[in-house]
Amino acid sequence: MLIQFRFRNFRSYRGESLLDMRAVDGSSRRFHSIDSGFEKILPVVAIYGPNASGKSNFIEALKFMIDNVLNGVYLNEAEHCAFALDVESRNAPSEFEVFFSLDEENGSKVYNYGFVMGASGILEEWLNFRTSSEGSFDSIFYREMNAIDDDHLLGINTSDINERLNSSVLLLSLYDELELDILRAVYEWFAGNTVLTEIPVPVPYESDDNTLKYLKACGLHIEGMIAEDEIRLLHKVNGSDEPVAMPLEMESSGTKKLISLYGYLSYAIRHGSLLMIDDLDVHLHPMVVCLIVNAFMNLEMNPHHAQLIFTAHDSWQLAADSLRRDEIWFIDRNDDYESQLYALSEFRSSGSFINGKNGNLQNDYMLGKFGAIPDITSLDMLE
């Protein structure tokens, strides 16, 4: 499970930004947290903020890290994506780091992996682990430029590794080529996670009874689904026992999105992986979003401890009082137009939290008590 994601100097983020999935509010909804990696970890985090605040850039930050591990390092200046609104930051390196837990044959481990990169390539890379809650992290390897320290646990000669390193490749990406089995679990953790910056168009796939049950559970009144050369949904016809097959282009945007999401949701739940979705609420009714969120919170439905991180604009989830305070995060811009990420749990002593309860978070949010709302004026220019 993801425990923390930290990054610096990426797109609209100049300083350090940290998403912490550790439960900090134990006073309510304790069933929302999962014991993993010697911590109580949250299965869901919702992120709110105005347009152009940096929500999509936050999702892109983790996607960028995963893509560099799986597909190679992007070296050109456009792909470096440092914060461009500050002269020093524009040419400064970017940093990405994760802490996550894995249950392995010999027990649970917490891994810490990260790298620093600039326009010229990889500057630093490291991997550490620990096997107890109180123990310190042990280094598996530390790399500076194109060389690793001799004091590593990789099991092969340092010179053999350094010969393969260059500024455009992460050592973690070479685990299979160099037969570094100690890195396999870490690489596969990255490979198993999914980041959706946009929802792809549904494509034909082998559907089963669960696909139809899922669509009906989300409120679609359909009789069946055909997913051969093209996806078609079967609708009941009044006065006939034969349903009619409607092509997907005649269905609503929400229906298309639900069909596209099924595979990603099912994979995450079945494999216990991380799923990040930008604008989850777009085209979906708030009750459907709540249904999806609850699937990750329900430990009977989510026995492998999958996690869902999503951004949204619709504040209905706040009014529904279905999320813990530490499961709600905000992103806003400061006076220097930097994106800043912060948790609702930081507002414990104000507004709705005076009595230790969530209260009407939606009203408080829309009134601006937590920031992260648009600075709107009038549209009189349309007259």
Angle between helix 253-271 and helix 286-297 axes, rounded to 10 deg? 0
35: CB partners within 8 A, 6+ apart: 41
38: CB partners within 8 A, 6+ apart: 101, 108, 110, 132, 133
Residue ranges covered by each domain of the chain: 2-193+273-375, 199-272
Q: Residue 79's pLDDT is what? A: 58
The model's pLDDT over 330-362, given as tens digits with 9 standing for 90+, comes to: 999 999 999 999 999 998 644 444 334 556 889
> Can you list the pairs that 170-179 forms with residues at least 24 positions away whose Cβ atoms lie under 8 Å?
170/68, 170/69, 170/73, 170/115, 170/122, 170/125, 171/125, 171/141, 171/143, 172/69, 172/113, 172/125, 172/127, 173/69, 173/70, 173/72, 178/154
What residue type is assigned to position 300 of the chain? Answer: E
Task: Give CA–CA dist 330/298, Å, rounded.
Answer: 24
Q: Residue 206's pLDDT is what? A: 65
Which of the 8 DSSP states describes residue 22? Answer: B
The model's pLDDT over 286-307, given as tens digits with 9 standing for 90+, comes to: 999 999 999 999 989 999 999 9
Q: Nearest-CA neighbor of 129 among 140, 143, 115, 142?
A: 140
What residue type is assigned to position 214 of the chain? Answer: Y
Q: Residue 186's pLDDT is what? A: 97
305 neighbors 273 (Cβ within 8 angstroms):
no
What residue type is assigned to position 342 of the chain? Answer: Y
The model's pLDDT over 32-77, given as tens digits with 9 standing for 90+, comes to: 788 887 889 999 999 999 999 999 999 999 999 999 999 877 655 4
198-204-207 Cα angle (round to 5): 105
* Mean pLDDT, all residues of the chain: 90
Give yes or no for residue 134 having a pLDDT over 90.
Answer: no
Please provide the distance, in angstroms rounded to a whole number, between the alpha carbons at the two ends of the chain: 52
**259-263: average pLDDT:** 94
Q: Nearest-CA neighbor of 58 among 7, 97, 99, 3?
A: 7
pLDDT band at 201 (very low <50, low <70, confident <90, very high): confident
Q: Residue 355's pLDDT is what? A: 39
**254-258: average pLDDT:** 95
Q: Residue 228's pLDDT is what? A: 79
Q: pTM (2 decimals)?
A: 0.93
H or E segment at 196?
Answer: strand 194-196
Which of the 8 DSSP states describes residue 137? Answer: P
Give yes or no for residue 215 having a pLDDT over 70.
Answer: yes
Task: Give CA–CA dist 295/306, Å, rounded.
Answer: 10
Q: Nearest-CA neighbor of 65 among 129, 19, 133?
A: 19
Percent of the chain clearing pLDDT 70 (strictly above): 92
The region of weakest confidence among 265-269, 272-276, 360-364 is: 360-364
Strands, sheet with 13-20, edge to edge from the N-terminal-most edge strand: 13-20, 2-10, 94-104, 107-118, 121-130, 138-144, 147-148
Q: Residue 144's pLDDT is what? A: 95
Q: Give the tokens for residue 357.
A: 């309860």
Cα 130 to the chain's mean position, in Å?
23
pLDDT band at 207 (very low <50, low <70, confident <90, very high): low
The region of weakest confidence among 229-238, 275-284, 351-360, 371-380 is: 351-360
Cα 14 to the chain's mean position, in Å?
20
Task: Give CA–CA dist 286/97, Å, rounded.
Answer: 33
Can you give the C-alpha Rg of the chain in angstroms?
A: 23
Task: Give CA–CA dist 311/276, Å, rounded.
Answer: 8
Give yes or no for residue 78 having a pLDDT over 50.
Answer: no
Strands 13-20 and 138-144: unpaired
**81-90: average pLDDT:** 90
Counting Cα atoms < 13 Å in the Cβ hemisphere of 29 gives: 23
pLDDT band at 234 (very low <50, low <70, confident <90, very high): very high
Q: Nearest-CA neighbor of 44 among 304, 358, 296, 355?
A: 296
289 neighbors 280 (Cβ within 8 angstroms):
yes
Spell out the CATH class of 2-193+273-375.
alpha beta
343 neighbors 20 (Cβ within 8 angstroms):
yes
37 neighbors 3 (Cβ within 8 angstroms):
yes
